[in-house]
Amino acid sequence: MPPDQKKRSPLSELSEEENLFKESVANFALQEIRPHVMRMDEQEEIDSEIIKKCFQLGLMGIEIPTSLGGSESTFFMSIVAIEELSRVDASVGVMVDVQNSLVNNAILGWGSEEQKKHYLPLLASEWVGAYALSEASSGSDAFSLRTRAERHKDKFLLNGHKLWITNGSEASLFIIFANAAPEKGYKGITAFLVERDFQGFSVGKKEKKLGIRASSTCELILEDCEIPLSNVLGEIGKGYKVAMESLNEGRIGIGAQMIGLARGAFEYAVEYSQERQAFGQPIASFQGIQFPLAKMATELEAAQLLVYNAARLKDAGRDFVKQAAMAKYFSSWVAERVTSQVIDIFGGYGYSKEYPVEKYFRDAKVGKIYEGTSNIQLITIAKLLLK
């Protein structure tokens, strides 16, 4: 049979290497993270030992070359890791997501050789990274940002405020977007590599949130923050390209977070429905429970295929922007829908903190909001369809 007529493996079928990696991350999440999930949620902080173990397992530098201390693996592997971590705790999942899909990938794609040699070994071994684009009046309209960068001989001075910055409490390195030429509009936006101890930089308040509470979401304050010229990421005025390319990849990561947490909630529902008795039999014996479970399983499978397909396209060097938007849009819808129905199956117990499903429900909501709202994804999909 000609190669192009051979039966293709389904997107959900993983290679042996991918399966082994998936199992190792799943075991780590179940054994090392699950016992601490509720405590971290209540304390609104990821355990520092869990962060250390994420570095030790190579989860914070999945695509970074081995010569720079990373695992030199694929983008798909990072998606697998995010999914399995989020199945147990979406807060840890998004920390690893931002590190790999936004920060590391932006430096891999746009960094100078000197920047890569200096920062990537640190990001693979000990430094958490953060990505700072959003501001109080700059969310979906990302390029209306007001943070300014003014050049002074051999440095830039940054002034402004950033909001909703994931990993803000833990990060040692921040990719910060500021406008170096406001008169040029979005063509003046520039990306900067900002270290936590740079003069004029500080981390402000940490937001108190509905979900992913252990994940820090912080304000950043820039007051004449001094940035060496060597810390411009990419070219001056090309920050919008850096942002768009990294966000397209990041949306696949959020898709993985959503299918992971939805699957975690769904697995609890399947188990509970076979244990909970009503009218002398397990509630799983009733169609009123069977049909919702069947629909959830179907929607989860479809969402996973969309996410996996987008990640495979990215690794293959093919255009994936539309598929990334579809994956993010659909998986966040599925996550919200599945986690809500799981609570219905648990009844009153699902509404209490005695069971973990209420946390999955809270965590799911952010999927429709960050890294591009659902409406922004629909705009992207429509534009590409009608191009």
**C-alpha distances in angstroms, 353 versus 8, 37, 39, 362?**
44, 12, 12, 12
Residue 223 confidence (pLDDT): 98
pLDDT tens-digit profile of 63-86? 999 999 999 999 999 999 999 999
The whole-number average pLDDT for the span 195-212 is 98
What is the pLDDT at residue 112?
Answer: 98
Share of the chain above pLDDT 90, in %: 94
pLDDT at 13 over 90: no
C-alpha 220/C-alpha 174 separation (Å) is 10
Per-residue pLDDT averaged across 220-232, rounded?
A: 98
Percent of all residues in the chain with a pLDDT value above 70, rounded to a whole number? 97
Active site residue 150: no
Q: Give the active site residue among 84, 336, 358, 371.
A: 371
Reported as a pLDDT band with limits 50, 70 and 90, residue 387 is confident
pLDDT value of position 142: 82
Q: What is the pLDDT of residues 112-132, one digit of tens each?
A: 999 999 999 999 999 999 999
> All domains of the chain, ordered by start, with CATH?
3-128 (1.10.540.10), 131-237 (2.40.110.10), 241-385 (1.20.140.10)
pLDDT bin (cut points 50, 70, 90) of residue 11 is low
pTM for the complete prediction? 0.96
Helices (H) and strands (E) in the chain, counts: 12, 10
Report the pLDDT averaged over residues 228-236: 97
Q: What's the pLDDT score for residue 326? A: 98
Question: Mean pLDDT across the stretch 134-161?
Answer: 93
| Alpha carbon distance 312, 304 (integer Å) | 12
pLDDT at 12 over 80: no
Name which of 245, 230, 240, 145 is nearest 194 in CA terms: 230
Element (H, E) at 191: strand 189-195
Backbone angles phi and psi of 69, in degrees to 5:
95, 0
Angle in degrees, 0-180, between the axes of helices 287-315 and 75-88, rounded to the nearest 10: 150
pLDDT confidence bin for 1, thresholds 50/70/90: very low
Residue 6 in this model has a pLDDT that exceeds 80: no
Reported as a single tens digit per residue, the pLDDT across 95-107 is 999 999 999 999 9
Taking the C-alpha atoms of residue 259 and residue 190, their distance in angstroms, rounded to an integer, is 33
Distance, CA of 304 to CA of 263 (rounded, Å):
10
Mean pLDDT of 33-52: 98
Residue 10 confidence (pLDDT): 59
The amino acid present at 295, given as its one-letter code, is: K
Query: What separation in angstroms does the CA of 92 have from each of 207, 221, 337?
Result: 17, 25, 22
